[in-house]
Amino acid sequence: MPGIRLFGRRFNFASDDLTIPSLIDIGLRLPLLVTFIVFRIKDESPDSTCPSTFYNGYFYPLLSVYAVITILASIMALISLRGTPVKNTRPRRHMPLLIYTRLIIVPIDISINVLGLILIIRVFHMCAIILRATIIATIILSWTVPIALFIILAFFIDLTGVISPEKKWEMRIKLIFCCGRGYGGQSSDIKNIVKTLQYLIDDERFDLVPSDVAAGLILLQHEDVLEERQLDIMQTAPLELLKEGLYYNSYAQSAFGWFSIAYQYRLTFLPRILFAMRFRTIGFCCACCSPCCQNPDSLNDPCGSQYSTLTYLLRKQKPVILYANFLGAFHRAPFYIAADGEKKKIIVSIRGTLSATDILTDINAVEDVLETELFGNGHCHSGMHSAATYIRDDISTRLIDIFIKYPDYELIICGYSLGAGIASILAILFKPNYPHLKCYGIAMPGSVLSENLAMATRHFIHSYVVDVDMIGRASIRSLEHLRDRIIDALDKCNRNKLRILTMTLFGTLRKRRQTFHSVNSQTPALMDESFSPSTTLNIDSTISELVLNQTPADRAHLIMPGTIIHLYSINRVGLFSRKISYRACMSTYNRFSQLIVHPRMWLDHFPASYATALADAIENYDQSLQELN
């Protein structure tokens, strides 16, 4: 529902968001209230230790305030459960009055504790030990709750009207991303990010708070998990293309360094973090090491720990690491160059999203003009373009020297996630100088190049997407559509928000359904020139016309580049599925125009999912051909 208004100002929470805070308030107050009552009954004996001044000056007033707060919190919790998130908000119309009442009680509570504190100091030693502990707990609580309320209200206040919308979003970005450090003061690019966020979120047609978005995603997840999707198999993916994808996937993932090691050992979430922190500690432990510890072929790695980690990760391929730049900043992606003797390739591998500044690069999704020598002019992702330009300027001269030393080698550019998008743009920039260049984008983002450039790069850029990976479907257009679907789902919902966030969520997470049902519409064969990603296909019936028609004409539509290999599951999968079988087919960008809200939409983007999917698709390749015949 619309954000609640207090003191003439909008706040970024709704009246149905107060159920859990009210229950927490009750849970904190009620035990103390019961303890006070029990001790008061016991203390009525002739052997009473606490004097009457304690009860008259502190106990009875505090008991009354706690009783009022408990009753008021109970009423707020019950009212917050009434109605629906958007369609029926009238039952909660009195919530602002209850909040005002609760805020009035806060200074009363503090005053009682301040005034009673003087009295308690005199008689404190005369009361029972357990009662003393209870009194201390009430004093701490009386100060903690007001401070927490002030912080919450300050955090959720909407400053629209006080400052400009652009300034509001810039403040949020600086707050979230370490107070603005890391983006190098590039104000024009930050303004681009602000414009993107405003375009998607600050829309006059709706007024939603974060919990509404969460509830809407859960409702859509419930719908999308149950949806039957037909996947027309135009052509199976060539086995050679899968093997190449798996091979260069190891190079793409190794650019993550210590993070990749955590996944290699298949550690669970918490051990991954601890393991990664341990690896990162190596660098900090060498803070005072001498310059000789740094490898001469690497930059921004003073102790050589990241270079050593990279060498360890590539121990099976045993390439010669020729150069590495581990600088991670806004519009700067770490990368390395390696010579693979087995394949006779010079490989440039670019790291994907791993830090807050990488996320800023991701969000900078406005369209940059990309001028090319071979493919004409088009548009591309601004953040990725800046990162690709930085890498090109850094390695252009170095590559010339490398190919003098390795004249019979060919150039391969690969990357993972953000790195895949950067790699595809870098491949276009280098293609005139290296005609045999190929690019392998693992977990390729869905918004990289304009259609004319994406189609022109089919013969040398290969994009890999696993099942319902959300990044492969993320674009301005798909996020617009998702936003409108959330609004529509909330408008139709007849359940309260708490029920959506609990029962509906847990029920959906337990479901296991096959995401795609393959239909063989053509005889499977290896990829040839007859297969064209630009071939007209039947888009899923669930794709709204809104997605196709609402994007403003002045915004270039960015899509996934090159030849697309879709690795789809053939099992009934859920959030906790372990053994999943995959098949691979050639696909087209319009099949990734809509976000599928699925429990695995984020897990399918993890490096382990791609390594598993590629390996399984290769292992069962012959079986997949038989299934389609």
The larger pLDDT score, comparing residue 125 to residue 210, is at 210
Whole-number pLDDT of residue 506:
76
Whole-number pLDDT of residue 413:
97
Assess whether pLDDT exceeds 50 at residue 377.
yes
The larger pLDDT score, comparing residue 131 to residue 391, is at 391
Tens-digit pLDDT profile for residues 209-237: 888 888 888 888 888 877 777 777 778 88
pTM of the model: 0.82
Lowest mean pLDDT among 68-72, 107-111, 162-166, 548-552: 548-552
CA distance 555 to 353: 25
Task: Give the pLDDT mean for 561-590.
Answer: 87
Residue ranges of alpha helices (H) inside 81-206 are 95-123, 129-156, 165-176, 187-201
Lowest mean pLDDT among 3-12, 221-230, 369-378: 221-230
CA distance 449 to 426: 12
Whole-number pLDDT of residue 397:
94
Residue burial 481-507, b: 16+ Cβ < 10 Å; e: rest: bbbbbbbbbbeebeebbbebbeebbee
CB atoms within 10 A of CB 129: 7
Whole-number pLDDT of residue 188:
66
Whole-number pLDDT of residue 502:
85
Assess whether pLDDT exceeds 50 at residue 180.
no
Assess whether pLDDT exceeds 70 at residue 534.
no
Q: What is the dihedral of CA 187, 192, 197, 202, to 10 degrees?
A: 90
pLDDT over 90 percentage in the chain? 31
* Sign for the pseudo-dihedral over CA of 617, 619, 622, 626: negative
Q: What is the DSSP string of 345-408?
A: EEEEEE----SHHHHHHHH--PEEEEE-SSS-EEEEEHHHHHHHHHHHHHHHHHHHHHHHHSTT
Assess whether pLDDT exceeds 70 at residue 362.
yes
The larger pLDDT score, comparing residue 44 to residue 259, is at 259
Task: Give the pLDDT mean for 9-26.
Answer: 88
Tens-digit pLDDT profile for residues 327-361: 888 888 999 999 999 999 999 999 999 888 888 88
The larger pLDDT score, comparing residue 334 to residue 289, is at 334
Assess whether pLDDT exceeds 80 at residue 22.
yes
Whole-number pLDDT of residue 266:
46
Assess whether pLDDT exceeds 80 at residue 599.
yes
Lowest mean pLDDT among 85-89, 177-181, 230-234, 572-576: 177-181
Give me the domains of the chain, ranges plus CATH numbers.
5-157 (no CATH), 231-274+299-475+559-628 (3.40.50.1820)
Assess whether pLDDT exceeds 90 at residue 10.
no
Tens-digit pLDDT profile for residues 486-496: 888 888 888 88
- CB 365 within 8 Å of CB 196: yes
Task: Give the pLDDT mean for 92-97.
Answer: 92
Assess whether pLDDT exceeds 70 at residue 263.
no
pLDDT over 70 percentage in the chain? 76
